[in-house]
Amino acid sequence: MTFENLKPLVVAIVSSENTTRDEKLLAICQLLNESVEYYNWVGFYFANHEAQTLHLGPYVGAETDHTVIPFGKGICGQVAVSNNNFVVPDVSAQDNYIACSFTVKSEVVVPLFVGGVNIGQIDIDSHVIDPFTEADERFLEYVNEQVATLF
């Protein structure tokens, strides 16, 4: 499915009634994981700004030990500090990377802004080397803009 076709489905999930925010976030993870072949792990992390840590929220894919990540650590932790998208075409080329599984070859993390504050991020792992393009970044920014309306 194309990103343009996925956008209205994301909007439908966000605006669905009688579901909690976490159920919506999980449904978005499921949609993206099922619809994009190279999205093999899809999840949200949320920031605790006092503790300077990220906390795993709803996700789809292999279970991870990394449910709490300090700001600055790994790709996720760096995005918590930089406020910028981070595309990693090949995780083996990264020094500051937290490996979840040897099957993961690449990763993209896009920050989630609410009222200009970076409150978390969407994190996607792929089993393929270098699959992410600017189209993925624009799409994931769109997803996060929709998700931001839930906060």
Task: Enumerate binding residues for ligand SME (CB under 6 A).
Answer: 41, 64, 66, 69, 74-77, 97-98, 100, 107, 123, 125
Q: Please write down the HEC assignment for all residues of the chain.
A: CCHHHHHHHHHHHHCCCCCCHHHHHHHHHHHHHHHCCCCCEEEEEEEECCCCEEEEEEEECCCCCCCEEECCCHHHHHHHHHCCCEEECCHHHCCCCCCCCCCCCEEEEEEEEECCEEEEEEEEEECCCCCCCHHHHHHHHHHHHHHHCCC
Between residues 9 and 56, which has the closer beta carbon with respect to ligand SME?
A: 56
Smallest gap from residue 26 Cβ to ligand SME (A):
15
For ligand SME, the nearest residue by Cβ is: 74
Of the pair 66, 127, the CB lying nearest ligand SME is at 66
- C-beta of 32 vs 76, nearer to ligand SME: 76
Closest distance to ligand SME from the beta carbon of 65 (Å): 9
> Which of 125, 136 has the CB closer to ligand SME?
125
Closest separation between CB of residue 135 and ligand SME, Å?
Answer: 21
